[in-house]
Structure 1
Amino acid sequence: MPPSTIADTQALDALITSTLALLSQFTSSLAATSAASTSAAIKDPPNPLDILSDASRLLKAHVTKISLLAINKPFTPSAITTIIREVAGTCLPAMMSAVQICEQDKTIWPEFVGKEAQLRVRRVFREMESLLQEVRNISQGTGAGPGGKRDSLSCTGVVWEACDALAELQKLDIAGLAVQKTEQWRDTIKDAIQELREWMESEALESEGQKDALLDSDDEGVDGDADSFDDIFNAANSMPADRPELKALVEDAVEKLKRVGLLYNALIKRRLKTYPGAQGKGNAKRIDELMVDLRAIPHVIDELASTFYDLDEDQARVVLDKCIIRAKGVASVASKSYDGHDDEFTAWHRKWQDAIG
């Protein structure tokens, strides 16, 4: 290898090392409570979602060039060095600045948007680390050959996916991201309702008089436990036929949870899709309150299902009440429009409160 090529390879290796260190530093900052706490506030900041979109598109272009240069002969470390230096000096810091803007002005950018931006930027950084490691392997000769090419292209594709997910935030904006997440949580509630309904409508398994290898009298430590094993396995698969009060409670829960699902639909249509976006300064805290509870309710419903499967009626009533109280709280926070006036949702909300009990 000529001296110039050796020097170029060493320069590339040094730049990869420093860029990996930069990525590690940025990732640690993103993991902190506030990405803005360690940096000075940006004056007259632009739209951070626009920055993320532009930086993502630019990074995709750079990554494509890096990948092609890495897998094609002859290997030219100096060309790759130029591109990585550009990435480290533009795309990566721009993404960090965008996250900082979200963090520093929460009257415009809700906290859930900032957290989502952090999550997606962190994924881009993680995939960039993998790509840089693969470029280093190729430059050192350990990534050459078909396997090396495949790994490099694979890493590039994953970086592209992460960049596309990051750029998507601009298309979604605040309202679109809120709708996307709330639809996912609503679908989780629908699935839970369907599972509870199927569990309630299934006939209890009849195992009396049937010989089970697991319950054979010759098995050590199992004698006399057949009834308890039956209870455990039957409860997990279907509602016991001799529990009419439990069945009535499940029926009541299913009806109330269906109304909770209707609340999600109404909020999506009347409150989330109509969110004024960055122009709605002062409403960020309100939509954050909605998103916190909308995210939490499916977890409460999951807890409720567990109590039913455990055949614990008393605890099921407690958890069901907790779920409904939380849903009512969400409806109350969203009862008026963003300008503080009554509207169609206000009237619907009152009827919904009466219907859910």
Structure 2
Amino acid sequence: MTTPTKSLEASTLSLLALISHSRNLLSSGSIAPAPKPSTDNPLDILHDIGALTRAHTTKLSIAIRPPNIIYDAAARCVQDITQFVVPPLLATVELMSPKQHGSTLYTAVLRAADNTLAALEEFAKEIPEICRAGRARGREIGWRARDVVESHMAMLKDAMAELKEWLESNDDDDEDDEADGEAKDEDAFWDAPKKALAKDDTEAREKVDASLKKMKLVTILLNAVVKRRLAGEGKLQDTQRLDTIAELAKSVANSGDDIGMGYYEDNTDEAAEAQKEFEKKAIELAELATLANDGNDDSFSKWFRNCRDAISKNG
């Protein structure tokens, strides 16, 4: 499968080859003027080609602006210039005739056409270097995003372990002895209030268990994001997507902590709100990881969709 980066590189090489060939034709006089007057006004056509050239080069400049290089869009811009700018420019020059338009104007058009091609050539030569710099920046952000996701995955696992331990505790402990009561109270203060869940509180236990199952599923999602989208064959290059993935991983971990605090403080409404936010951010993360660099499905897309759907299910 041709990657967007390879497609841009190949398109740029094709454009450079076409420009080089076209400039040689202009400089060698191989562009033959029209043998008879043309019914079309070549100057009007050249004006339209100039506007088209500006439009395509502007879009290309935006697409290859670091650090968020959009490789597939840039490749399309280069292909459009190759197809819709250079050949029509040469064809229009052929419509010019020294006899019909005067040798001075004819010479000026040849010079302007060559200047246009020279400018496009210089622009195209810069694309590989810009892409190399963009890839280096992308790798830097990719490593940073991976570190962030892995650290927040660890935080979520810690929150799960703590919530599970709390779920499995009971409220049958003996009252603290008066002698060590103050020490126990101090520990309880620093450890945050965690009133043990009664064994017969079936409804609450089912809610906590459901939360733990979703948290477990999201840790699997985070691990897949690290392995499939921050490394390996499906590694993402779009720095904006990488930054957003890191932000979502942080939001998911924070919401996981909030779920636990809601239960510990016997605030079911707070736990429920945290659960909604947790699932919302996890779904966004799964959707963001679904598509490959080129915006299309790859071998990992189906798994991420299935994971998103599993997180979306009630219970």
What TM-score do you get using the length of structure 1 for normalisation?
0.44
TM score, norm. by length of structure 2 = 0.49
Q: Which has the larger radius of gyration?
A: 2
